[in-house]
Structure 1
Amino acid sequence: MRVMFAASEAMPLVKTGGLADVVGALPKALAKRGVDVTVVLPKYGEIPKAIADAVSTIAVMEVQLGWRRQYCGIQEVTVDGVRFLLIDNEFYFKRGYLYGYGDEAERFAFFSFAVLEMLDKLDVLPDIIHCHDWQTGLVPFLLKTRYANRPGYRDIRTVFTIHNLQYQGVFSRDLLQDLLATGDDSFTEDSLEFYGSASCMKAGLRFADKLSTVSNTYAYEIQTEAYGEKLDGVIRQRSHDLWGILNGIDTEVYDPMNDPHLAFPYRNSIAKKHQNKTALQKELGLPVDEAVPMIGIVSRLTGQKGFDLIGVIMPALMKENLQLVILGSGEPNIEAMLREAHLAHRDKIALWFGFNEGLARRVYAASDMYLMPSRFEPCGLSQLIALRYRSVPIVRETGGLRDTVEPYNEYTGTGTGFTFGPATAHDLLYTVRRALSFYGKEEHWIKIVDNGAKKDYGWDASARLYYRLYRELVI
């Protein structure tokens, strides 16, 4: 079975979020099941030089994009056993960062056309093109319309995975009509039209043969008005084609016993974990005390992640015996709130604005608890990494957080973390205080950590489900 992943980012080449982790790790798990996976990415300027220098050009072509004819190089490189094909056009992709430009529609329309034009240059066509998020949502649409009569293309099936429904690639109808050189019939309610504009996410939802998203609970949530981002009706219509498949993590990459970023490698040793805590306290200028409970956060600093709730409870949190370590960047008002709290409580709060992979690993390793009060969370990888590093999650019961963190029951001794339902500051504060109370009860805390250590957070189970999904399409 030959599967081609089309995505806008993948580890270890480029990353802005969890999408890159998934696209980088899932092909390796599928390969163990005999699936031949190739990953297609834009060739960004941010790709590490060692990888960029290793590429070889296998084809050169032009891509018609409306009235434009644009150069496109197809380059190949193998990294960690995974074959990557890179779409090379420096005007579109050799920039300072991956996203956020005024010509996003043109950049990813070009990428979508290039993915399909490139197939003629390959020795063998894929059985399935697995598309990820709005940046590749046009691929199923184009395959079913523009490329439907090209020899061999009709047999190619598509899967479209929703990693975050909030980001939809919505552009003006006139702009996409120009880029796609298509008529009015493509901008109807049953096609790309979206409240007077056009949506690349909707293109994937409408035209892919199968849909998936990254947890069972999120698959249910996005069919409701509360979480459906105005696409819940479309998703309900396709509910028979929608699979909820939980993400995993690469347990070789995220392994506290073999993590080069840690001062003290460990597996299940609480003592070694506390040594990592004191090392991080020294690094960040916090009071050194292995007994004080440390709560870690590595996150985008946005309202989606529940930082408005954290802001409300911050004064109450600062009255507790704890340390709070936060790594991330995002909305200016949230950064300002955190900076103000840090200035008032330097002995309790450590901040790092931006992203630092090594520091992120040290936060996971040092923290006793890991906080994710998200308003919605399609899957979430941070809570899985936290569990892998023996940090106890405190999460809201939504999306993948609900599917991966079992609330602790002190009477049965079951559970891997602490959870709350309503997205209120009161419920968040109550849950944090409950977690802190059990941290002071060694027998309970060791039980919670041990419960988490027994879970399997790798990709094998998820790869098995994706394999079943693919088989439904090609048999």
Structure 2
Amino acid sequence: MKVWFAASEAVPLVKSGGLADVVGALPKALSKLGAEVTVLLPKYGAIPREIVERAVFLEHFNITLGWRLQYCGLFEAIEDGVRFLLIDNEYFFHRHYLYGYGEEEIERYAFFNFAVMEVLARSAKDKLPDIIHCHDWQTGLIPMLLRTRYSHYPALRHIRTVFTIHNLQYQGVFSRGKLKDVLSAGDDLFTEDGIEFYGDGNCLKAGLRYADKLTTVSPAYAQEIQTWEYGEKLDGVLRMRSWDLRGIVNGIDTDSYDPMTDPNVKTHYRHSLAKKRSNKLALQREIGFEANAGRPVIGIVSRMVDQKGFDLIAESLPALMEEDLQLVILGSGDSKYEQLFRQAIEWYPGRLYVWFGFNEGFARRIYAGADMFLMPSRFEPCGLSQLISLRYRTVPIVRETGGLRDTIEAYNEFAGTGNGFSFGPATAHDLIFTVKRALSFYRQPPEWEKIVANGAKKDYGWDASAKEYMQLYRELAN
């Protein structure tokens, strides 16, 4: 089974969010099951220099993008046992940021999609994949190109496509004129059955329409996006393709996220809450808090946006700060939330700490040092932070949506079951009530140890999910 992944980011090369973790870890799990996996990625300027220097130049060719002829280089890199093919064009990809270039984004990723297709067309027949697994809108044109513009290549006709939705909110919507120019396409593409979207064109819809199978990153999210509330105006398309849509929950790289070996953790541990408290004291000292093992610490590592429930956190903050707790936040996002928390740091000295931006090492010290981890997302396709928290024996507090609903079970003190705390309605009242409930059990050490032990029972690695993907690939290949 030969599988090619096409994605806009992947660890350990380049990362802006959870997509990179998935694309970096899943191929390794699939390889253990016998798949030969290759990941195709833009050759960004942000890729570490040492990785670029190890990469081997394979060939170069030209890509026709609208009326323009663009250079394309192809490099090969082997990292963590995974083969990467890097698509090179310095004008499009040698930039300071991965994303955020407005209408120019369609040129960048249309070029990447065309380049993937050209690599396929130029490959020897015995090197071609059985499956191309595409991720998010940046690769949504590949299934369409395979079934339309490249359909006359006999060698490519056996290839099947899987398209995974990591977050339906980001769809790659661009003006019809821009897409027609970049794709050299006519009006026949911009129909209800094509990529037309309220007068514009939609790259994610291209993946939904033309891929052989669709997946998303949790079973609950697969159901939610077929509703008006969560469907982001594509719920009709998703309901039409519901037979081909499957939810497979993400995992985490348990080798990387391991408190027994993580170099960012002061005291390595597995199940020992005493050793975990040592990391809590170290975290408190690092951020200038009073080092107090008995005072609960709640951690947040997140983008500061409405989707992640920061409107609920902002509304709840005064009530939360009345409790005997410390709150540690790492993230950045909307200016209104950044400004609020810059002011709140002065209001609650020694109680609230915020690191604006992202720091991988500090994130891991939060996972290891916090007692609880707060994720009040308004919607969450899967979520990885709650899985990392469980791995570090930190108890999640989540809203019941998407992957959070699939992975976190509310603690039931009568049955002794559950690995965290959850609430349903997206209100500040329910968030505050649930945090207070968690704090009440934290003050009962036997109960708290039971909750932590429940969270440690399940393996949140990629093995089970990789088997589901392999089964899907086999169904398609057959």
Give the TM interval when normalised to the shorter protein: over 0.9
Question: What corresponds to 1:110 in structure 2?
Answer: 111
Contact 2:140 2:207 in 1 (8 A): yes
Contact 1:105 1:171 in 2 (8 A): yes
- 2:59 and 2:238 mapped to 1: Cα distance? 38
Contact 1:216 1:244 in 2 (8 A): yes
Shift of 1:122: 2.9
Question: What corresponds to 1:101 in structure 2?
Answer: 101
Question: What corresponds to 1:17 in structure 2?
Answer: 17
- 1:59 and 1:82 mapped to 2: Cα distance? 20
Gaps of 5+ in 2: none
- 2:332 and 2:78 mapped to 1: Cα distance? 32
- 1:246 and 1:304 mapped to 2: Cα distance? 19
Which one-letter code corresponds to 2:76 in the other structure?
A: E
Which one-letter code corresponds to 1:165 in the other structure?
A: L
Which one-letter code corresponds to 1:212 in the other structure?
A: T
Using the size of structure 2 for normalisation, the TM-score is: 0.99
Question: What corresponds to 1:82 in structure 2?
Answer: 82
Shift of 1:120: 3.1
Shift of 1:342: 1.2
- Alignment partner for residue 275 of structure 2, among 259, 272, 275? 272
The aligned runs of 1:154-193 (5 Å cut-off) are 154-193=157-196
Question: What corresponds to 1:120 in structure 2?
Answer: 121
- 2:114 and 2:220 mapped to 1: Cα distance? 33
Which one-letter code corresponds to 1:112 in the other structure?
A: N
Question: What corresponds to 1:461 in structure 2?
Answer: 464
Which one-letter code corresponds to 1:4 in the other structure?
A: W
- 1:229 and 1:196 mapped to 2: Cα distance? 16
- 1:205 and 1:191 mapped to 2: Cα distance? 10
Which one-letter code corresponds to 1:108 in the other structure?
A: Y
Which one-letter code corresponds to 1:117 in the other structure?
A: E
Question: What corresponds to 1:398 in structure 2?
Answer: 401
Which one-letter code corresponds to 1:200 in the other structure?
A: C
- 2:14 and 2:194 mapped to 1: Cα distance? 31
Q: Report the number of matched residues.
A: 475
- 2:145 and 2:368 mapped to 1: Cα distance? 45
Gaps of 5+ in 1: none
Shift of 1:261: 0.5
Contact 1:138 1:203 in 2 (8 A): yes
SS state at 1:461 partner: helix
Note the aligned Cα RMSD (angstroms): 0.6
- Alignment partner for residue 388 of structure 1, among 376, 391, 394? 391
Superposed CA deviations along residues 366-397 of structure 1, whole A, max 9, x for unmatched, are 00000000000000000000000000000000
Question: What corresponds to 1:411 in structure 2?
Answer: 414
Superposed CA deviations along residues 17-71 of structure 1, whole A, max 9, x for unmatched, are 0000000000000001101100000000010111010011111100011111100
The aligned runs of 1:238-253 (5 Å cut-off) are 238-253=241-256
Which one-letter code corresponds to 2:38 in the other structure?
A: T
Which one-letter code corresponds to 2:276 in the other structure?
A: K
- 2:156 and 2:468 mapped to 1: Cα distance? 25
SS state at 1:152 partner: helix
- 1:120 and 1:226 mapped to 2: Cα distance? 41
Question: What corresponds to 1:228 in structure 2?
Answer: 231
- Between the two proteins, what is the percent identity of the paired residues? 67
- 2:169 and 2:219 mapped to 1: Cα distance? 17
1:131 aligns with 2:134: yes
SS state at 1:147 partner: coil
The aligned runs of 1:417-436 (5 Å cut-off) are 417-436=420-439
Using the size of structure 1 for normalisation, the TM-score is: 0.99
Superposed CA deviations along residues 453-474 of structure 1, whole A, max 9, x for unmatched, are 1111000000000001101110
Contact 2:121 2:153 in 1 (8 A): no
The aligned runs of 1:305-384 (5 Å cut-off) are 305-384=308-387
- 2:388 and 2:400 mapped to 1: Cα distance? 18
Superposed CA deviations along residues 78-134 of structure 1, whole A, max 9, x for unmatched, are 001000000000000000010001310100000000000011333311111100000
